[in-house]
Amino acid sequence: MGVKYYLHAGMYWVLKEDEIMFYFSNLDLRTGIRSSNNKLLFELLKQLKDPKTRKELIELSLFDQEEDLDMTLNYLLENKYISVFKEVDHIVMRLRSYTDSIPYVKFEDYFCRLHEVSICILGVGTGGSYIPEGLLKLGLHDLTLIDHDKVEEKNLYAQNYFPEDVGKYKVQALEKRYRQLNKQLKVFANKVNGFNDLSHLIDVKKTNYLLVCADDIDLTINLLKNVFEVNSEIKVILTGYAVFQQYTRMINVDDYKFVLKEMMSENQSMSDQQEIAENNGVIFNALFSALTISKMIFDDMLNISNAKISTADFLKNKYLLGNEIQIQLEDKLERERSSVNQIFYDVGNKMVSEDKWIRDLTLDNLFNDNLIKRKAIYKELEPFLRGDEMSHFKRFMDYKDRITDEMRVDQKVSKEALLVRLFTFIKERFSEKDFLELKAIVDNGFIQDKKTLFSSAKPQTVNDNGFIFINNVINNEHDLHAFNTLIHEVFHALFYIQGEKNVFVHESFVLKQQISFLKKHLYEKDIYEMSRAFVLHNVNEYITSMVACEYEKYTYNGDINGFIQKWDGFKGHEDELLQILNHHINNSDPLFSYRYVYAMNQNFAEFDKLVTLFAKSHLGQ
């Protein structure tokens, strides 16, 4: 039988008007080729999706001259768009298609190495039991499995075993399962305490990859100390997991001493502390280990990448496979995007004491001098620190005395209908560019309105180097406050689009636009009720923010007694005061809440008109 030509169809070919594109579904790789007759060339590619001999291609009569066919086939072969082989091995056809689709890689190069590579897996529990399946289905044959444990019922939900395997040695259960895929599979139900035990079971000099999946740091240290002395070409892959996290690393002769030093230091620190812990590895750990280790070995064999570290955080859903530089860059980006990440994972207090300007407040220290250090402040705060800004506060106290819970009503709001009116309002008042950029944020799904167990419930809009994301949880269609904060956050996004950075101008802009929007639609029932909720919330928020800012002002100025004298009405109501302060005070940013006070002061006249428009009967005006 003559050789057959076949297309690397996994490269995803598409005929366009003026070119033939490949890697079409991958934007990073997508490119194209042009010929004098694209349709004819594409027809040939279609025929080569199923392997064909030269004779079969000639019989199709696609080309007038055989030499044109030969020239075209040679061009396709030279550029690795097609390959040739004598016999079709259907078992490896999918693997062939994948490998041949990789730029600059030929399946024949990989196939030649498959029988040369020897791999030993030490430990086939949670970390190692699924790895054989991945490696075997990559065509690797010379595998040795070592583990002295037997399958227990507790293993069934985390490891690659079934009820009928309980009581058997783990390696024997896997041998029985995979023997049909690989008759060369070798297994040892031996306990390995160190390098000497291992060297009696395998030929370390001929082993290319040693996978240490045993949960035994002393064993791992012993192996690292000895294995590279015998085989300087071997790659050792370590895998382990912590609470909700997984870590895997491929080590060679160049870096094993560094890793060994780290492990010995960690082992010493662990021996010096008392611990209570148990193995809580689950199927996520097992599958991630199998996936990343199989990919590391595949990439290493073909020199595709130097990926040698994989990390996973199953709580934050962060997964990475790369080298040391990529890991460090990702960590840097993680820190830079902390404001975005905290939306999705808002657990724990990450603030360290060095960042704080004021102590954590309790009933015991509430009226003490709690200043830690005077941090730099915005210039807009200086007049407030020096003055006694209370004129609007008295007006808001008047509002509070007159507004009652009667303002709270049961009103349904449609998020979709609200956004339609909001974007119509924005389109009428702002540039088309601003409108389209803002609408794209919504259309592309960059508004999160559902609360998960670990995501933040705090309404906020984040601008991360031009990437704008809105977090605004809406619990139900009656949640008027949430719909008001949605409007508020959309105007935050609009402000970011316009490029202004001053936080005080920012908050003033947002409040002004929100008041204008509510006034425009005030006599539509849902907006009317939202406006009432908006007024009630902002009256209370302004009052409590002012109280907190006053406390911060006197603390910052080193005059807490001045606050006690001025706000003596809180005597006997310390619990209420503490609740207000802990709600508003940002321990790392002095007078953080003043930006909202400032915004209301700047927009007081319009806010007062809004109150007057709908609540005359409530306010007695």
Count the alpha carbons within 13 Å of 7 in the hemisphere toward its beta carbon. Answer: 18
Q: Are 126 and 285 in contact (CB under 8 A)?
A: yes
pLDDT of residue 80: 92
Domain boundaries, the chain: 4-85, 115-336, 382-619
From 191, 243, 195, 240, select the one nearest 213 (Cα to Cα): 240
pLDDT of residue 619: 40
Q: Are 179 and 89 in contact (CB under 8 A)?
A: no
Question: Among 3.40.50.10600, 3.40.50.2300, 1.10.260.40, 3.40.50.720, what is the CATH number of 115-336?
Answer: 3.40.50.720
Distance CA 162, CA 152 (A): 10
pLDDT of residue 266: 83
> Counting every residue, how long is the chain?
621
Angle between helices 415-429 and 432-443 (to 10 degrees): 160
Got the DSSP string for 337-354? Answer: THHHHHHH---S----GG
E strand residue ranges, 323-454: 447-448
Q: Which tokens sit at 209?
A: 């990859």
pLDDT of residue 88: 66
Intervals of the chain under pLDDT 70: 1, 88, 336-338, 347-354, 403-409, 614-621
Distance CA 104, CA 116 (A): 21
Region label for 175, one of left (φ > 0), alpha (ψ between -120 and 50) or beta (otherwise): alpha
From 179, 178, 173, select the one nearest 134 (Cα to Cα): 178
Q: Are 208 and 118 in contact (CB under 8 A)?
A: yes
Q: What's the DSSP call for residue 360?
A: P
Q: Which single residue is written with the structure tokens 């006694």?
A: 388
In this structure, are strands 209-212 and 118-122 parallel, antiparallel, or unpaired?
parallel
| Strand partners of residue 240 | 247
Q: Are 286 and 129 in contact (CB under 8 A)?
A: yes
Q: What's the DSSP call for residue 34?
A: -
3-state secondary structure of 523: coil
Q: Are 236 and 220 in contact (CB under 8 A)?
A: no
* Alpha-carbon torsion, ordered 377, 392, 551, 579, to 10 deg: -120
- Integer angstrom CA distances of residue 599 from 133, 301, 515: 62, 62, 12
pLDDT of residue 617: 43
Distance CA 604, CA 522 (A): 18
pLDDT of residue 111: 87
Q: Which tokens sit at 416?
A: 């979709």
- Integer angstrom CA distances of residue 333 from 312, 339, 454: 16, 11, 21
Got the DSSP string for 57-90? Answer: HHHTT-SSSHHHHHHHHHHHHHTTSEEEESS--G
Distance CA 38, CA 44 (A): 10
pLDDT of residue 22: 95
pLDDT of residue 411: 86
Distance CA 367, CA 361 (A): 9
pLDDT of residue 150: 97
Please enumerate in sequence order all residues whose Cβ is within 8 A of that of 262, keeping only pairs 6 or more positions apart, or say none: none
Phi first, then psi: what are they for 317, rounded to 5°?
55, 55
pLDDT of residue 351: 46
Q: Which fold has domain 4-85?
A: Outer Surface Protein A; domain 3 (3.90.930)
- Integer angstrom CA distances of residue 238 from 37, 187, 310: 53, 20, 10
Region label for 586, one of left (φ > 0), alpha (ψ between -120 and 50) or beta (otherwise): beta
3-state secondary structure of 443: helix
Distance CA 317, CA 339 (A): 17
Our measurement of the distance from residue 123's CA atom to the centroid of its chain's CA atoms, rounded to an integer in Å, reads: 30
Distance CA 142, CA 124 (A): 16
pLDDT of residue 409: 57
pTM over 0.85: no
